[in-house]
Structure 1
Amino acid sequence: MALTRVGTAVSGRQGGVATAAALSLLVLAGCGPAQEGGEDAAASDGTYPLTVETSHGEVTIDEAPERVVALGFASAEELLSLGVTPVSVAEDPETLDQSVPWMAEEIADISDPGLITADGEPNLEAIAAAEPDLVIAQTYQVSDQAAFDRLNAVAPTVTPATDAANADWDERLLKTAEAVDRTAEAEELIAGIEAEFTGIGSAVPGIGDRTYQWVRADTTGYAFGNGALFELFGLRPADNQDNTQTSDPLSRENTADLDADLLAVWAPGDEEREQIDGDPLFQSLPSVEAGTVYYADLAFANAINSAGPMSLRWLAEELRPTVEALG
């Protein structure tokens, strides 16, 4: 099931994006044994060279890659889930426990925030120093052809073949798998994860009639995020749930419109959380009274926005009690 999302990933070093006007960061482990330092990174069956379609045209990978650089946790998660350990990941090792707890240990020793500049652009010099033979990136990181060409000149660079800012999780996984010649493994992961979500939801009688909403709480109201991931459980969006993220925010005086059976809400800061905790309108919502509110944090926002096999399984267990409470 493809989950449409737009936006940019949030990490500990980019937390300011989360609390600004970036509703786009809201959407929507089967990892193999880690290899040391990227050794035996892609145990290919000899199909190289491979030509892979990306967001900026075809890219040819001449040989099975052994040194793969991941420009962020989402790309690293895709690789790890396929049994491929990158040599370097564009993340800050100091913030991993808060931003990506489902994979913090796996990438702590290979994380390098210097791979991305302060303004969020790939640091070509630092990436080249890692001596990659493949770079896995997301479309928003190389949004124009010139930026892509510069990075691709360092090493073959693979992004999802879409103009969406943040491609569906299964599309991203399949594209990464194509680059490392592990498509069959990716397809198996996708089927297994979808079955796990369905299994949790099927325990709730009438799950298909239950609704969800996913919002970020701001000081002036609520902004809808893409919550299509909840549909993996069998839930359906509330009438006003805007997974396209194009509607106006919901004002505080209209808080009663957050009337879904399951409400997931992210209050990025203490002020926002204190505001909803002290708001009689919020506290009288059906989901609050029924105990079917999930209070999200930075890790959840990262996971739902840039989901992969490891984070999806983490999300499933995080949400399981709230989903089961619907029954």
Structure 2
Amino acid sequence: MSPLPRLMRAVTALAVAGLVLTGCSDSDSDTPREKGASDTQGQQGAFPLALTHGQGKVTIPRKPERVVVLGFADAQIAAALGAPVVGGTRNTSSTDGNWLGVSPAFSSEVLTLDAINPNLEKILALKPDLILMTTAQPGYGSAYKKLSAIAPVISYKNKLLQDSGDELTTLIGQALGEEKKAEQLIAKSHKSLADFAAAHPGLKGKGYAFGQEASGTVHAVVAADGPTARFFGALGMKLPEPLVKLGIESGGKTQLSQENLDLLDNAQIAFFGVPDKKAGEAFAKRPVVSSLKLTTSGSLHFLDYNESGMLLGPNPAVTDLLLAKLGPALKKASA
């Protein structure tokens, strides 16, 4: 993350599973839970370990030795924490099948699972003792009970793609028995963000906009407390109130009509995910978009779907890569 308009559905045609903003519904979960609920049992790194996530409660009997990752952030965070990953979903838009930001990269032998459609037999054959699906496609959320019969499952914490990257890193670190590594990864991320903000004080108070264009439809991420807002907030930036007031349709986003595209000019910088350079050029030439101050000043920037996917679900494992990618544009905005 399931018909349109649901989160990430356009990835089938665009071959970018998991990264396109085409909607999401909270009904994707089998067992919704109250936001903020979480509990653990046992001391740090001790097993058996009981955890509560967005689709239920799970007990992990021992430190995992065979981990399956089903979402892009699951892969990024698990790799950064050195998890023993034996299976994962393949990103068909990359040459090696890895999600951008997965370091060290997984081998092709590991990336054998479809990112959209669950294959329970394949997952069972991997003999996992932990399944991570905090950012997996909605189809995996729907299969939660069946997956739980195979191995302990860790799903999103509150809502799909609405958890902060720090929350997911902490949760995954607990499940792996790698809390200290998770804490270190989060601390490193915080330092990188703080250092960037300190080096570019002109960003403080600047408005940003972020979204994606897919098949002619424009979506903007307008969740003022979502993971994207937290990333920019750490740099001192804010989501302009006129965009916030549009309201959330689903998955932290809303569709922008031709009539309200001018609201983007309440931001001083904007990033939009597009399938390719040609699509970005076409977007910039739209009647309203072409006359925006953002466009004429060179402050409208385009990302490919893999890059915008990191900004859709930023987490400590990709903080430095995100800052490197957005850095030149952000430095210009800070001036």
- The one-letter code of the counterpart of 2:156 is P
Summarize the Cα distance change of 1:67–1:312 in structure 2 as closer, same or farther, 3 Å threshold.
Answer: same
Q: Distance in 1 between matches of 2:9 and 2:259?
A: 30
Task: Give the alignment's TM-score, normalised by structure 2.
Answer: 0.75
Which of the residues 205, 209, 220 maps onto 1:209?
205
The 3-state SS of whatever aligns with 2:106 is helix
Deviation at 1:182, TM superposition (A): 1.4
SS at match of 2:177: coil
Alignment CA distance shift 1:135-1:248 (3 Å): closer
Q: Counterparts of 1:85 and 1:220 in 2: how far apart (Å)? A: 41
Is there any run of 5+ residues in structure 2 with no aligned partner, and where?
A: 1-5, 26-42, 223-227
Structure-to-structure mapping, 1:142-181, within 5 angstroms = 142-144=140-142, 147-164=143-160, 166-181=162-177
Supply the distance in 1 between the matched residues of 2:45 and 2:277 (Cα, whole angstroms): 54
Say whether the 8 Å CA contact 1:91–1:112 is kept in structure 2: yes
1:266 aligned residue? 273
For the 8 Å contact 2:203–2:330, the answer to whether it is kept is: no
1:92-145: CA deviation from partner (whole Å, max 9, x where unpaired) = 4673568733337612334434x348xx3421110111111111112645435x
SS of the residue aligned with 1:310?
coil
TM-score, normalised by the number of residues in structure 1:
0.77
SS in 1 for 2:209: strand
For residues 1-327 of structure 1, what are the structure 2 equivalents within 5 Å? Answer: 7-8=7-8, 15=15, 22-23=22-23, 47-92=46-91, 95-96=94-95, 100-103=99-102, 106-113=105-112, 115-116=113-114, 120-138=116-134, 140-144=138-142, 147-164=143-160, 166-217=162-213, 222-226=218-222, 227-228=228-229, 229-242=231-244, 245-246=248-249, 249-259=255-265, 260-268=267-275, 272-279=279-286, 281-326=288-333, 327=335
In 1, the alpha carbon distance for the partners of 2:19 and 2:65 equals: 38
RMSD over aligned CA atoms reads 3.5
Give the total of aligned pairs. Answer: 299
Whole-angstrom CA distance in 2 between matches of 1:99 and 1:245: 31
Asked if the contact 1:79–1:86 (Cα under 8 Å) also holds between the matched residues in 2, the reply is: yes
State the 1:151 CA deviation. 0.9
Structure 1: gaps (5+ residues) = 1-5, 26-43
Cα deviation digits, residues 179-220 of structure 1 (max 9, x gap): 111122212222321221232233334422211111324676
Alpha-carbon distance in structure 2 between the residues aligned to 1:132 and 1:17: 22
The structure with the greater share of residues assigned to helix is 1
